Amino acid sequence: MDIISIMKIAFKSLARNKTRTFLTMLGIIIGVGAVITMIAIGQGATKQVNEQISSMGTNVIMVVSNMSNTQSRARQAAGSGNLLDEGDVKAIQENVDGVLYVSPVYNTYGQLKYGSNNWRGSITGVDVDYFLIRDLSLEYGQYFYPSEVESGAKVCVIGKTVADNLFVGEDPVGKTMRIRHIPFTIKGVLKSKGASSMGMDQDDIVIAPHTTTVSRLIGQRWKFMTIIVSAISKERIPMVQEDIMNILLTRHNGTTRDDFIVRSQTDIAEAASAVSNTLTFLLASIAGISLLVGGIGIMNIMLVSVTERIKEIGIRMAVGASKRDVLLQFIIEAITISVIGGLIGIIMGWSLAVVLGQTMNWSISVTPWSILLAVGFSCAVGIFFGWYPARKAANLNLIDALRYE
């Protein structure tokens, strides 16, 4: 008999037992849905981390002094500490090959005030190179000049969020706002970068010359500098990292490699994606187990169904169904259950991922390979777990099957 007719028979038989069919399908629906959702969440996290890391800039190297070590050396003589200073910035700029831009970075918080509007903002004190390293472009206005950095001018560039909240409906450029009561003139507004993965608003920033930031806002005593560097190419990064470390070691007497962290964007990206890949794998294996359980559910039901339908098989064979017809009918029933279950699973899993992404504010990413994986797996489950009961059905002795009670 041709395959189309057998398919019709199989479909009819499934339709006749709607509850049983649905319950069997449920295992696959949940399994496939879970795989899709879990992978979507895992992949979303990976994608977001990667995006965030690339939003740091290009070929970026961060230099930080390792505070936990600094504190353990607090009793050492003044001057032998390992806090980074302007001399380090200069040394990196002048003595390390392959460095494109260097900028010190100071961070502080402060109350921002314009007219009667208040905003609590994060202030970053940097050199002009910072804009190039971080790839920050202007919405309008202009950056501050090197001369303004040198002279410690009270100027700044602000992010979109700050502009929107302090200057409602006004053009901030040329206006003066107060940062902790000290007036700063706004030179420009940055282009929006959107929210970061942790929900941090990357546009909620004020960028000012580092000289002014230290002298007016932080104070010499409390300053803690990090250095941001960009290398001329990706290939040069490891060499540049090594050279920076060597310069720091010669400039700071009595320090070890452990006292500084010279980390490239690639290092951070690798560490982060290793974590999120582990997460994806973990989530997918949990989901995979539920898919397997769904498959075993199919086999269970199909086996029960064979036993329950021994007489039906006997009747079919008596009126002319061959072994092949019976085998195919049962396999098609199993495959149909898993394929339809798989399709519903994809829809459910996808919807769940989207809903989760929106309500929990997670980034999700439904990838084609996760769909292929889920569908492939559910088909395989259908054939694998359908084949054994189907064979059992096809090999039944006709007379025994007919006489079976």
Per CB under 8 A, residues contacting other proteins are 1-2, 5, 8-9, 12, 16-17, 311-312, 314-323, 325, 398-399, 402
Contacts made by residues 176-179, CB under 8 angstroms, sequence distance 24+: 176/114, 177/112, 177/113, 177/114, 178/112, 178/113, 178/114, 179/110, 179/111, 179/112, 179/121, 179/123, 179/206, 179/208, 179/217
Closest distance of CB 347 from other proteins, Å:
29
Q: Measured from the CB atom, is 5 or 351 closer to other proteins?
A: 5
Q: Measured from the CB atom, is 18 or 181 closer to other proteins?
A: 18
Closest distance of CB 278 from other proteins, Å:
50
Q: Measured from the CB atom, is 22 or 145 closer to other proteins?
A: 22
Closest distance of CB 292 from other proteins, Å:
31
8 Å CB contact between 161 and 150: no
Q: Measured from the CB atom, is 8 or 191 closer to other proteins?
A: 8
Closest distance of CB 387 from other proteins, Å:
20
Pairwise CA distance, residues 12 & 30, whole Å: 24
Burial of residue 62 (CB within 10 Å: 0-12, 13-18, 19+) is: middle
Closest distance of CB 382 from other proteins, Å:
23
Q: Measured from the CB atom, is 191 or 311 closer to other proteins?
A: 311
Burial of residue 230 (CB within 10 Å: 0-12, 13-18, 19+) is: buried
Closest distance of CB 26 from other proteins, Å:
21
Q: DSSP per residue over 22-50, as a string?
A: HHHHHHHHHHHHHHHHHHHHHHHHHHHHH
Closest distance of CB 391 from other proteins, Å:
15
8 Å CB contact between 141 and 157: yes
Q: Measured from the CB atom, is 343 or 402 closer to other proteins?
A: 402
Pairwise CA distance, residues 403 & 6, whole Å: 24
Q: Measured from the CB atom, is 296 or 318 closer to other proteins?
A: 318
Pairwise CA distance, residues 109 & 118, whole Å: 13
Residues whose CB is less than 8 angstroms from the CB of residue 107 and which lie 6 or more positions away in sequence, other chains included = 122, 123, 124, 125, 226
8 Å CB contact between 47 and 357: no
Q: Measured from the CB atom, is 134 or 316 closer to other proteins?
A: 316
Closest distance of CB 2 from other proteins, Å:
6
Retrieve residue 115's tokens: 């007219």
Closest distance of CB 16 from other proteins, Å:
5
CA dihedral for 137, 141, 146, 149, sign (positive or negative): negative
Q: Measured from the CB atom, is 193 or 323 closer to other proteins?
A: 323
CB-hemisphere CA count at 13 Å for 88?
Answer: 30
Partners of 112 in the β-ladder: 119, 179
Smallest CA-to-CA distance from 395 within 297, 310, 320 is with 310
Closest distance of CB 14 from other proteins, Å:
12
Q: Measured from the CB atom, is 16 or 221 closer to other proteins?
A: 16
Q: Rounded to the nearest 5 degrees, what angle is found at the Cα of 197, between the Cα atoms of 192 and 200?
A: 60
Radius of gyration of the chain (CA): 33
Smallest CA-to-CA distance from 294 within 14, 24, 75, 22 is with 24
